[in-house]
C-alpha cells in the first residue's frame, strides 16, 4: 500500500533580505540553547546583540544579494532528495518540508504544512551531520513545542559512509584541481561552540572529530589534516584551535591550505564570507603557498545518497529516535547525547 511520507529537513535558516537581518539575529540569540541566560535577561541580550551586530551583518549579506543563500540551497537539497527517494521507493509518495530554526519557513510552519499534507509517516532529518544541543537539539524542541508529534527522528550521522565519502571526494577533487600540491594541509573547519557547552556534555566536538578521522582515513594521499573551529561570538572561551589561528600558522609555514567546511552542508555567510574572504585574506597576508576552499556538499550526489539512506533506514525502524547503527555512539561522558538520554545502549 502506498504511503505518504513527509521528510522534514531541519536547518538554521537565514535572513531573506536586509530587513530581516536583525530579526533573524534576535531569534538566534534569544534561543536558550544558544544563550545561557534566564528570561527576561536573554531577550535583552538578544536585542543588544542584534543591534550591535546588525549593521556589519547587513553589509556581509549584501555581498550575497542582501540575504542568505541557505533557503535556495536547502530547497535544491530537498528537490534532489525527493527525486532520489521516489526512485528508490516508487510505490510511496514523498515530500520534503523545510523547518528553519530562526527565520521563515519556521518549524511551526513546517508542522502545519505536514499536517495539511496528510502524512502517514514523518521523518525528521537534520542537516546537521554532527549532533549538538545548539542545533539539532534546539530544532527537535521547536518541533515538539509546535505540536509536531511523534516522528521517526534521525539523530546524527557523523560516520555515515556516503557522507564521509562525499567529503573525501570533494577534498580530493579540490586538491587535484589545485595541481596536487605536496606542501598541503587540509583544515577541516566546523562551527565552534563555547567550552561550557561541551563541558555540559554536548557531543558535538567529539562527533566532528570522528567525521574528520573517517575522512582523513579515506585520503591517504594527503597526510596533514587539522580540525579547527570558526565563527566565535561573545566573550566566553570557545573550543579550539580556531580556524583563523590555524590558517595564519599554516600560511607562515608556507603551506598550501585546503579548507573544508566539514560540518556545513550548504553555503551561507560562514562559508561565503568567513572562509572565502576573511580567512583567504589572512592566508595571503601571511605567505600561504595557496588557498583552496572546498565547496559545501550541497546537493552533491554522494550527500543526497547519504540523506536517502538515512531516510529509508529510519522508515525501517520504530517511531522515535534513530541512532547511528541502532545504538548510541557517543562515549558516556557526553550525557547530552540524545540517544543516551533516551536510554539506548552505547559504548
Q: Which residues are annotated as a binding site for Fe(2+)?
A: 191, 270
Which letter does DSSP use for residue 294 in this model? Answer: P
Q: How far apart, in Å, are the Cα atoms of 19 and each of 23, 25, 61, 62?
A: 8, 11, 11, 11
Instruction: Report the length, in residues, of the chain.
Output: 347
Helix axes 204-217, 161-177, angle to 10 degrees: 60
CB atoms within 10 A of CB 208: 26
Nearest 5°: phi and psi at 23? -60, -40
| Geometric angle at alpha carbon 197, from 194 and 199, rounded to 5° | 110
Dist CA 285 CA 126 (whole Å) = 37
In DSSP notation, 30-52 reads T-TTTS---TTHHHHHHHHHHHH
Supply 43's cell numbers. Answer: 531577550
The count of C-alpha atoms lying within 13 angstroms of the C-alpha of 178, restricted to the half-sphere facing its C-beta, is 24
Comparing CA positions, the residue from 268, 333, 306 lying closest to residue 16 is 268
Geometric angle at alpha carbon 193, from 187 and 199, rounded to 5°: 120
Binding site, by residue number, is 191, 270
Residue with C-alpha cell 546537493?
A: 299
Q: Which of 315, 10, 244 is nearest to 134 (CA)?
A: 10
CA-CA distance, 143 to 137, in Å (whole number)?
10
Are residues 136 and 128 in contact, defined by beta-carbon separation less than 8 angstroms? yes
Instruction: Evaluate whether 99 touches 7 at the Cβ level (below 8 Å).
Output: no
Write out the H or E segment, with its range, that includes residue 227: strand 225-230
| Cis peptide preceding 56, ω within 30 of 0 | no
Amino acid at each position: 500500500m502506498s504511503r505518504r511520507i513527509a521528510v522534514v529537513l531541519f536547518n538554521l535558516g537565514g535572513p531573506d533580505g536586509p530587513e530581516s537581518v536583525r530579526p533573524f539575529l534576535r531569534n538566534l540569540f534569544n534561543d536558550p540553547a544558544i544563550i545561557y541566560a534566564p528570561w527576561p535577561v536573554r531577550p535583552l541580550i538578544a536585542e543588544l546583540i542584534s543591534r550591535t551586530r546588525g549593521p556589519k551583518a547587513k553589509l556581509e549579506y549584501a555581498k550575497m544579494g542582501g540575504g542568505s543563500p541557505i533557503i535556495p540551497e536547502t530547497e535544491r537539497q530537498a528537490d534532489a532528495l525527493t527525486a532520489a527517494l521516489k526512485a528508490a521507493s516508487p510505490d510511496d509518495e514523498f515530500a520534503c518540508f523545510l523547518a528553519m530554526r530562526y527565520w521563515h519557513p519556521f518549524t511551526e510552519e513546517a508542522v502545519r504544512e505536514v499536517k495539511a499534507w496528510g502524512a502517514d509517516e514523518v521523518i525528521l532529518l537534520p542537516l546537521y551531520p554532527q549532533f549538538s544541543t545548539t542545533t539539532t537539539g534546539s530544532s527537535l524542541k521547536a518541533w515538539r513545542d509546535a505540536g509536531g508529534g511523534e516522528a521517526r527522528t534521525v539523530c546524527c550521522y557523523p560516520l555515515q559512509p556516503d557522507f564521509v565519502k562525499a567529503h573525501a571526494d570533494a577534498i580530493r577533487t579540490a586538491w587535484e584541481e589545485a595541481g596536487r600540491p605536496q606542501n598541503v594541509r587540509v583544515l577541516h573547519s566546523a562551527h565552534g561552540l563555547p567550552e561550557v557547552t561541551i563541558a555540559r556534555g554536548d557531543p558535538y566536538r567529539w562527533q566532528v572529530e570522528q567525521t574528520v578521522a573517517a575522512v582523513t582515513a579515506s585520503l591517504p594521499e594527503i597526510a596533514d589534516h587539522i580540525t579547527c573551529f570558526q565563527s566565535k561570538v561573545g566573550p566566553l572561551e570557545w573550543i579550539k584551535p580556531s580556524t583563523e589561528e590555524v590558517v595564519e600558522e599554516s600560511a607562515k609555514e608556507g603551506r598550501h591550505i585546503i579548507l573544508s567546511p566539514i560540518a556545513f552542508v550548504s553555503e551561507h555567510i560562514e562559508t561565503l564570507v568567513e572562509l572565502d574572504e576573511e580567512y583567504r585574506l589572512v592566508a595571503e597576508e601571511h605567505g600561504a603557498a595557496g588557498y583552496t576552499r572546498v565547496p559545501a556538499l550541497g546537493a552533491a550526489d554522494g550527500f543526497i545518497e547519504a540523506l536517502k539512506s538515512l531516510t529509508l533506514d529510519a522508515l525501517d525502524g520504530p517511531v522515535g529516535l534513530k541512532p547511528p547503527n541502532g545504538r548510541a555512539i557517543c562515549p558516556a561522558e557526553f550525557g547530552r547525547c540524545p540517544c543516551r538520554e533516551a536510554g539506548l545502549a552505547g559504548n
